[in-house]
Structure 1
Amino acid sequence: MALQLPDADGDCRTCEFCDAHVTPEFRRSYGTADRRALRCPECDSWARIMRGSAAGKDVDHPDPQKHDGRNGGVELRGPKVTDGGLSR
């Protein structure tokens, strides 16, 4: 039988940076000690999250929100071309 761990406060179910939904498992694994996610995969790269950015640590890896061309930033997730690039 699995043990249900207590969850953080009900209003902490979203990323504090981009307001995207984050699971309790993500917050428990990568978030702060009180299980808040300061960044998430929608607004940050996994390379930074694995180094502690979701917990608020300063990370020496470029932030995709400040550096164009880095994967993972919200601004990089624009509309997709669905017509094969034929419209202009």
Structure 2
Amino acid sequence: MRHATQLARISSILSATLPPELAGHVWFAGCDGPSAVILTDSPNWVVLIRFQQAQLLEALSHILEVPTCTQIIVRVVPEGLPNGYLTQR
């Protein structure tokens, strides 16, 4: 549960750095090597999220206090987000 809470906290901080129309459609799922994995609820948001890559990576480097992520992978989860993401935001 602690890990889910941490992911929700990071997601909330990242959302605050994004344009309002995009903020409610971005969730941080973790790092996979040098890649930050971002979840979204529709393929319509993928291009806009990728356009915000530099901003998201900069925010992550401040949040994680280590610039471990150098790129973003966007995964679409149209069936719904993992349990807890929406309730912990």
TM (normalized to structure 1)?
0.24
Relative contact order (C-alpha < 8 Å, sep 6+): which is higher? Answer: 2
Kindly indicate which of the two structures has a greater share of residues assigned to strand: 2
Larger radius of gyration: 1
